[in-house]
A and B are shown apart, each in its own frame.
Chain A
Amino acid sequence: MIETPATVQAATLWRIPRAAAIVAVLALLLPLVTGETFLLYIATLVALYAIGAMSLHLVLRLGQFSLGHAAFMGIGGYTSVLLVTSLDVSWWLAAAAGTLLAAAMGLLVGPLVLRLKGVFFVLFTFTFGEFARQVFVEAVAVTGGSEGIFNIPAPAGFTTPTSFYYLVLAAALATVAICGQLLRSQFGDAIDAVRESETLAHSNGMPVFAIKVITFTISCGLVGMQGALEASFVHYVSPISYAFPESLRFVVINIIGGLGSLWGPVIGSAFLVALPELLRSWVDYQWVLYGVVLILLMKYLPGGLMDLPALMRRLYRKSLPGAERSGGQR
C-alpha cells in the first residue's frame, strides 16, 4: 500500500524519514567544514527562509495562495525586537511573544480571509500584507518608521556566527518536526482532503473551516518565529524587510522547490537563497541569470526541483541505445 497520511500506521507516525535524518546530520556538521565563512552565513539564511517557506507550505497545502505571509513575519519580528530593545525583556521570552502574537493575528485574520477562495484570497492577503507594511511605516514612534530599528542584539550565548547558525538550525528542525508531524497525521490528511475537494471533505464530516483556521494559525506562528530570529541575525528591522517581495519570495521558494511535499520548501530555500549568492561572481548579470534560471526551471520542472530525479531518469533512459525505438513502441 502506498504510504500517505491516510495509510501511515500509528506505530510509524513518529518515524523520522531517513533522508531527513541524513540532511539534519549534514547540517549539524556543516560548520566543521565551512568554519565561520560566507558559506555559513548563506547556510544560516537558508535555514531561516526554510522556516517561513515551510510555514507557507501548510497554507498552500490547503489550496490557498497567500501573498501576505511576510506581514506575520513582521509582527513576529517587531514584537520581539520592541520587547528586547524597549522593555528589556529576555530574548527568549520576546521571541516566544513574537511567535505567539503572529499566531494570534493569524487566528484573528484567518476566520475573515479563509472564507475567500482563489483570486479573492490572494487579493485579500496581498492587501493585508500592504496594510501591515503601511502600519510599520506610519507607526514611527514604535517601529522607527521607514528607517527601522538598528543594533538589535542576538540572544546571549548565540553571538558568534556558528552558535547563531545552530540556534536557527534548531528552529528550522523544530519547524520540520511540527509541519512534518502535522502533515503525516490524520489532521494532515484532512488538510489534503480540503485542498482536493472541499465539497467532499464537508460530506465526509470534516470541519473544513476549523481545519483551515488551525492550519493558518500554526503557519502564521511559525513565520513569526522566523521574523524574531531574522531580526537578531541581521540586527536590523524595517518595513522593507516585510514587504510584498518577501511574501512573493516564500511563494516562489515553494513553487521552485515543489508543492507536493515538505521537501519542496526546504530544497527551494536552499536553491533560491544560495543561487543569487553563487552568481555574485558575475555581478553585472547576477539578477538576469537568476531570472533565466527560474524561467528554465519552471519550463522543464513544472513540479519543482522535487521532480529533478524523475527528469534525470527520463533523460538517462533517452540516452540509452535503442531508447528511441522502444519509446516508439510504447
Chain B
Amino acid sequence: MQPILEARGICKSFGALRAVQDLTFSVNAGEILGMIGPNGAGKTTAVNLISGTARPDAGEVRLAGERVTGMAAHRLVRRGLVRTFQSTTVYGERTVWQNIYRGTFTQSYTGFWSSVMGGAAYRHQRERTVERVERLLADLRLDDVRDTQARHLPYGRQKALGIAVALASAPKLVLLDEPAAGLSAEEADRVAEIIKKVRETEVSVVVIDHNMRFIAQLCHRVVVLHHGAELCIGTPREVTSNPLVIEAYLGADHEPA
C-alpha cells in the first residue's frame, strides 16, 4: 500500500549548521510513527520541512503520492496534513469551542462572498461544522470546558485542545510536535490515550518527542535522529536495543522497551 507520507533525502542547513541531513522515512496509512532524539537533533526542523513551515534545501516530500515539497502550510492542511506546535498550541483568548471552530476552517470556509453574505452554501456548511465541533468536544472530553477561555485551561487540557483543533480539519496525517512536553506522567498518559483514539479514526500520526517511555507506548515504529541525520528506524523494541541509539541517546543503563 502507498505510504501516506514519504520524505526522501530532505536536507536543511542554517549557515554552517546542518540541521537535517539526508533524512528519509515514510508513514503508512493508519500508523503512529515516533520521531525521537536529543535536543538539537533536528526533530522540529524535520517537522517544519514536512509541514511547509520551512522549505528543504534538497530532497522531496510526498503526501499520498503527490509531491508537496515546500508547499505553503495552509495548502498542505487542505490536502490533509496538519501539525501542532511545541509551545503555541491554542488561541488563548478564545473559548475551547471557538478554537475548534477555527480548526475547521478548511472544511467550513465557503469563500469570501459566501462567508460575508451568509449565503446558502455557508449556512449548509455551518450546520455540518457545528456538528463536527460538537463531536470533537465529546470525543476529546472537552465539552465541560466548551465556553472556557483556552488560556484558563490546565496545560494538559490545552494540549488535548491543540490535538482537537488539528483534528477539526479532517486530516489524513497529523504531526504532533512534543505533545507531552511539560506534562506530568499522568497527563502524558492521558494525551497518549487521545493519540491512540486518533489512530482509530484512520488518521496517521507522527509524534515528535524526546521521552522514550511516551513514544514506546504509543508508536508502531520509531525514527531516531541524531545531529540531524537518521540514526536508526524500527519498532520501539528494535530501537531501544540498538547499540548506536543506546550510545548516542539512551545511555548504557537503559532497559529495552
Asked if A317 is at the interface (CB within 8 A of a chain B CB), the reply is no
B88-147 CB contacts (< 8 Å) to partner A: 88-95, 97-98, 101-103, 105-106, 108-109, 112, 115-118, 122-123, 126, 146-147
Asked if B78 is at the interface (CB within 8 A of a chain A CB), the reply is yes
B residues in contact with A197, CB < 8 Å: 88, 91
**Number of contacting residues on A, CB 8 A?**
31
B residues in contact with A202, CB < 8 Å: 53, 72-74
Which chain B residues have a beta carbon within 8 Å of chain A's beta carbons? 51, 53, 72-74, 77-78, 82-85, 88-95, 97-98, 101-103, 105-106, 108-109, 112, 115-118, 122-123, 126, 146-147, 165-166, 169
Asked if A186 is at the interface (CB within 8 A of a chain B CB), the reply is yes
Chain A interface main SS type: helix
A residues in contact with B102, CB < 8 Å: 6, 189-190, 193, 200-201, 204, 206
Q: Across the interface, do B85 and A203 meet the contact criterion of CB distance under 8 Å?
A: yes
Q: Tell me the total A-B contact number using a CB cutoff of 8 A.
A: 95
A residues in contact with B103, CB < 8 Å: 204
Asked if A22 is at the interface (CB within 8 A of a chain B CB), the reply is no
Known: A1-B147, A186-B109. Contact between A205 and B74, CB under 8 A?
yes
Known: A186-B108, A193-B91, A199-B88. Contact between A2 and B147, CB under 8 A?
yes
Q: Across the interface, do B74 and A207 meet the contact criterion of CB distance under 8 Å?
A: yes
Q: Across the interface, do A7 and B88 meet the contact criterion of CB distance under 8 Å?
A: no
B residues in contact with A193, CB < 8 Å: 91, 102
Which chain A residue shows the least CB distance to B129?
A: A186
Known: A4-B98, A199-B85, A202-B73. Contact between A10 and B105, CB under 8 A?
no
Which interface residue of B82, B85, B115 has the most chain A CB atoms within 10 A? B115
CA–CA, A178 to B138, complex, Å?
37
Q: Across the interface, do A196 and B91 meet the contact criterion of CB distance under 8 Å?
A: yes
A–B pairs, 26, beta carbons within 8 Å: A1-B95, A1-B146, A6-B97, A6-B98, A7-B97, A7-B98, A10-B118, A185-B116, A185-B118, A186-B122, A190-B102, A190-B105, A193-B91, A193-B102, A196-B91, A196-B94, A200-B88, A202-B74, A203-B73, A203-B82, A204-B105, A204-B106, A205-B77, A205-B82, A206-B105, A207-B74
Q: Across the interface, do A182 and B74 meet the contact criterion of CB distance under 8 Å?
A: no
Asked if A121 is at the interface (CB within 8 A of a chain B CB), the reply is no
A residues in contact with B122, CB < 8 Å: 10, 186
